Structure 1
Amino acid sequence: MSFPKPLMMAQQIVRGAVREGGVAVDATLGNGHDALFLAKLVGKEGKVYGFDVQEEAITASNLKVQEAGVECELSFHCRGHEHLAETVQEPVQAVMFNLGYLPRADKAVITTVETTLPALGQACDLLEKGGVISVMCYPGHEGGDVEAQDVLKWASSLPREGWRVIQYGFINAPNNPPFLVAIEKLSA
């Protein structure tokens, strides 16, 4: 047996929550990997919302889904994930966050506590019962350590009666390895 990497565990958890024809959100589009994953899950009758502050992420994500030939309704927005609730007006089954910076781009443009925590709160409000949020935290870059710790603190404070929260990651890996925080909504 081999333990899955945190990103693979995030996909496994999300896969269990998203139905064909459902609605999902990629809160940090990046290069479009999560958007494509979600598009495959929701299928032709489903919808994927996506957010990123960099136009190149919107372009890359659209291209990735189109090149894969996956059909679903896409609604990608060049704005921060803290505007999630202003854009998404329907219940969602999953919201995926990949914090940090866009690979192979300006590493000075990063997600921050000031935008991520409000976005997480909005994601919780949008989730339907049984829905999940996956948050990949990357404490190994400047600013990422503070954001990761604040995400953990925030997630730990969710009431146990309505939420299940796990942390998953390799604790014996070097250089502040990434880890997953996954949140499941237990009640409406």
Structure 2
Amino acid sequence: MVARSASAVQWAQSFIAPVLVPGCLAVDATAGNGLDTLFLARGVGPQGKVFAFDIQIQALEKTRAQLAGAGLLDRVILLAADHREMAAHVPGAVKAVMFNLGYLPGGDHGIITRPESTLEALKAALSLLASGGRISLVVYTGHPGATEELRVVEEFTRGLSSRQYTVVRLSFWNRSSRAPVVILVEKAGAEA
């Protein structure tokens, strides 16, 4: 269960946690500061593998430090690559894919995720998703271009077949209009 004053990331992690089983594959599409990568690495267990993508070396270094500090670096493959390339790097069906869309906290705010590459990455994530697998998207809305990215993600996920996917959108009613939006996708099929 999520804490009463949970953040968008905590909601996403709460949704993803039940499908993380020992030995499974997972993807952090936007490694950032490494917190979701660390969460996924704990969930997949020693026999599982996490593929963490980021185009910024600074983000991958922060993620590496998080993992090394927790003794979980061996469970993760860090990739200096655009998240839209995930299908070329991930070898099989994944149980979970996590996205945090926007910019690297503490990094260059001019380097942001873009609607076109995010849409390609989301399509790649769906192509890799195992039955019963889940995708979380935390869409930060307080930077230039964020409104367009949110629109593209919402439009695409709204159009997914209700026979194949369940899609939920969470927003914070009593917070700033610039608060993040959380979109959760589950693929039909056997539970994890």
Mapped contact 1:43–1:70 kept (Cα < 8 A): no
Secondary structure at the residue paired with 1:134?
Answer: strand
2:46 to 31, 44, 47: 44
- Answer with 122-131 or 66-75: which moved more: 66-75
Q: CA deviation at 1:71?
A: 5.8
Distance in 1 between residues matched to 2:115 and 2:51, nearest whole Å: 21
The change in CA–CA distance for 1:71 and 1:179 in structure 2 (over 3 A counts) is: same
| 1:186 and 2:188 aligned | yes
Task: Provide the residue aligned with 2:37 in structure 1.
Answer: 35
**Identity across aligned pairs (percent)?**
37
The change in CA–CA distance for 1:43 and 1:71 in structure 2 (over 3 A counts) is: farther
Q: CA deviation at 1:6?
A: 2.0
1:177 to 176, 179, 183: 179
TM-score, normalised by the number of residues in structure 2: 0.94
Q: CA deviation at 1:69?
A: 1.8
How far does the alpha carbon of each residue in 1:74-98 deviate from its partner, in whole angstroms, 9 at most, with x for none?
1111111010111112110000000
Supply the AA of the counterpart residue of 2:164: G
Runs of 4 or more consecutive aligned structure 1 residues displaced over 3 Å after TM superposition: none
Task: Provide the residue aligned with 1:96 in structure 2.
Answer: 98
Q: CA deviation at 1:12?
A: 0.7
Q: CA RMSD for the aligned pairs?
A: 1.4
Q: CA deviation at 1:3?
A: 5.4
Distance in 1 between residues matched to 2:67 and 2:41, nearest whole Å: 7
Supply the AA of the counterpart residue of 1:103: P
Q: Which residues of 2 match residues 1-188 of structure 1 at below 5 A? A: 2=4, 4-70=6-72, 72-187=74-189
Unaligned runs of 5+ in 1: none
Secondary structure at the residue paired with 1:16?
Answer: helix
How far does the alpha carbon of each residue in 1:121-148 deviate from its partner, in whole angstroms, 9 at most, with x for none?
1100101001000000011111111101
How far does the alpha carbon of each residue in 1:4-38 deviate from its partner, in whole angstroms, 9 at most, with x for none?
33211111110011101111000000010000000
Count of residues paired in the alignment: 188
Mapped contact 1:58–1:76 kept (Cα < 8 A): yes
Supply the AA of the counterpart residue of 2:148: V
Distance in 2 between residues matched to 1:32 and 1:107, nearest whole Å: 17
Distance in 2 between residues matched to 1:57 and 1:71, nearest whole Å: 15
Unaligned runs of 5+ in 2: none
Supply the AA of the counterpart residue of 2:43: L
The change in CA–CA distance for 1:76 and 1:146 in structure 2 (over 3 A counts) is: same
